[in-house]
Structure 1
Amino acid sequence: MAGIAYDVKIGAFQASSHPQRGNGQVRSISCTLTMDGSGGHCYLELIATGASPPQPRPGDATTITLDDGNGGATVFTGEVQENKAAADTAFVVGVDGLTKLARLDVEGAYEQMSAGAIAKELIQKAGATVGTVEDGPKFPSYVLHRGPRALRHVQQLAEQCGFDVYTDGDGKVHFAAPKPGGADHAFTYAEQVLRTGLQQVATAVDGIQVWGEGAASTQGTEKTHWLIKDLASVSGKASMDEAFTVKPASEGKLMREVRDGAMRTGEDAATQARARMALLASRPLRGFVEVLGSPKVKPGDRVKLDAIPTTHPVNALASGKVLRVRTVRHTLNMKTGFVTRMEF
């Protein structure tokens, strides 16, 4: 098995663990991709040398590839947001493609378009790279008001669909629902896991009822613009039991009401309620797990822990469960080596 390796490209600056490759050196690497907040970022500490390699500048394209000895993967693609220098070190802060969406002011009106089609158009307008974009519901009409930036509009569309918004290591922006199925990665507890901090908390919401508007459910799609006094025909609900199973037409004890004028039929409202609950159900545990460097883990991946000692407290929480990664942070430095932190 080969050893740990890295390649970093920032504009004309290049650094690598391979001899004779690159024109600079890196002291530490930390890069994060996440579904939460305003997107991913990286922090790089460069070593000042007598060779005077090209200095990174804001806007420079940034790519980081890491290899744990079992094959490399690109773990971050973005651009420099900030750089600063000390006596013997230069620091570089990079951001991913979601920052382009966070900078863009937009407004517009759409008719008979899906949430995914609107999201895709906004991603392209921002100059970001489109990844997996699922359709979601189709809206008879949908208006974007200036004020919130494009990223907030895309995140709001995702909330209506039960989707998440995030980038992968190649910098592609994804707009997608939690994928079902088994684990993409398995980590043997005693051999690969360094630290755990998992918790199972009582849910603040175990049911959602979505209320729309319009008379389409009773008067036909040509009457979507009509307002009605009784909204029962344009509402839908879903709930979740203690086993995180979504009940499409049930009512929970801790119901949350959502009002969304873009929903014009009871079927659309019920679909949104189920999607929102499915997204909540994709997080049976919260917290983090740190493992020996695993560069192929990315947001949206499903992971499990194998061979957890039966007497270990983590066994009661995580044994047999598949956890969906919301945030992944890869760190490589002289102090800790190569570590991957996954947050759920």
Structure 2
Amino acid sequence: MVKPTLTLEIGSLLTSTDNPVAGIKNLVIERDMDIPADVLRLQLMERSGIALDNAVSAKLGYDGNEEVVFTGNVVALKPAIAAVEIQALGHMNVLLNLRTSATFENQSAGDIAHHLINEAGATAGTVENGVTFPRYYVDNRISAYEHLRSLADRLGYELYTDRNGNIMFHPLGPAAGLDSLGGLGSAVAGALGGAGLSFVYKQHLLQAAADRQPVAWRKIDVGGESPMSGKGDTTSHWLTINDSDYRGEAGDGSPQILVRDPAARTKDLADRFAAGLLATHKRNAHEISITVLGQAQIDLGDSISSSDVPDDLIDGSGYVRAIRHRFGEGIGFVTDVRISLDVNE
């Protein structure tokens, strides 16, 4: 029988299952694409010199064969007589704390992302170039994270950190074909990356549940303010009596919504934003949540599937949008995973 094991480095403290300095009690790691920063919550018997802003690295696995599951920094200490609770946030926190202003001309979405990631002092992982903007503005009224989140939502991209703390800015699932194939209908043909992990009922699944909801918007229109695409990228015309010629759209049916976006300065950009926003609204509509024995190797964005569940709504394949690892007394090591399915499944 294999034994769950843990190794933690916090500042100068090194503690593990085999050498439990400071007395490890419980550990929870939550990483969710809908939440800006990864979170680690830890209970120790004593603080052992741990201080705010100490670097944190956590590894989980079995019999000492461990994988990195979290990197970040301590943001809160709550010592008490019997124990201390430690909270840490992942490296996306530096983008949450950065406020800056910049103007970009003829730069891609990836160029903008790289600029903000570098200015925050973070490390870029997979960053998709995506579309090129004639002009794009970033100001310090909101954080760099909020600027990148808004840009990602327009393009149908995901913004998150991998388990090593690298900033990821790229499309996943059906949205993966939007830039190369030029439309949401074609994007559905974009395959989910790799074969991925498969978890089978009566073999791996401790718990499983599905959540199916209608898509918030079935059709999205973007733009309608500027006739620029008929005059060239460098012009600044912002009024038109025939805005349908310059409006982008994606999807069909109702409910539908019109989005006014000054960044959509051409019809091509308006079409691309509409397709991206539609993909963004679809990705939470059909989801599966599963619980399995600890799987440290799973990362956000991984392809994954569940199968042979009696209710076929709980069967399906998609990509990982949320992970929670739990390790400690009375629970051992278990992993909860939330999977985004293709809305057409």
Partner of 2:298: 297
1:216 correspondence with 2:214: no
Residues 104, 137 of structure 2: 8 Å contact kept: yes
- Counterparts of 1:255 and 1:60, CA distance in 2: 48
Unaligned runs of 5+ in 2: 174-190, 340-345
- Counterparts of 2:226 and 2:256, CA distance in 1: 23
- Counterparts of 2:31 and 2:149, CA distance in 1: 16
Q: Which amino acid aligns with 2:108?
A: S
1:193-241 Cα deviation digits (max 9, x unpaired): 1122312112221111111543332122232x122312223221111xx
Residues 28, 46 of structure 1: 8 Å contact kept: yes
Secondary structure at the counterpart of residue 59 of structure 1 = coil
With 193-202 and 76-85 compared, the bigger mean Cα shift is at 193-202
Are the structure 2 counterparts of residues 204 and 221 from structure 1 closer, same or farther at C-alpha, using a change threshold of 3 Å? Answer: closer
- 67, 87, 93: which one aligns with 1:93: 87
Partner of 1:331: 326
Q: Which amino acid aligns with 1:260?
A: D
Secondary structure at the counterpart of residue 326 of structure 1 = strand
1:114 correspondence with 2:108: yes
1:135-159 Cα deviation digits (max 9, x unpaired): 1221111111221111111111111
Q: CA deviation at 1:338?
A: 0.7
- Counterparts of 1:147 and 1:222, CA distance in 2: 26
- Could you tell me the TM-score, scaled by structure 2's length? 0.87
Partner of 1:60: 54
- Counterparts of 1:187 and 1:342, CA distance in 2: 11
Partner of 1:159: 153
Partner of 2:239: 228
1:88-123 Cα deviation digits (max 9, x unpaired): 312110001111111111112111111221122111
Partner of 1:238: 250
- Could you tell me the TM-score, scaled by structure 1's length? 0.87
- 64, 74, 77: which one aligns with 1:80: 74
- Counterparts of 2:332 and 2:76, CA distance in 1: 25
Q: CA deviation at 1:38?
A: 2.5
Are the structure 2 counterparts of residues 69 and 278 from structure 1 closer, same or farther at C-alpha, using a change threshold of 3 Å? Answer: farther
Partner of 1:188: 200
Query: Which residues in structure 2 correspond to 1:281-320 (within 5 Å)?
Result: 281-283=282-284, 285-286=286-287, 288-308=289-309, 312=310, 315-319=311-315
Residues 212, 262 of structure 1: 8 Å contact kept: no
Q: CA deviation at 1:25?
A: 3.1
1:198 correspondence with 2:192: no
1:28 correspondence with 2:16: no
Q: Which amino acid aligns with 2:39?
A: H
Residues 282, 324 of structure 1: 8 Å contact kept: no
Q: CA deviation at 1:70?
A: 9.7
Q: Name the count of aligned residue pairs.
A: 320
Give percent identity, aligned residues only.
Answer: 27
1:126-181 Cα deviation digits (max 9, x unpaired): 12221111112211111112211111111111112111111111011111111432
Q: CA deviation at 1:333?
A: 0.9
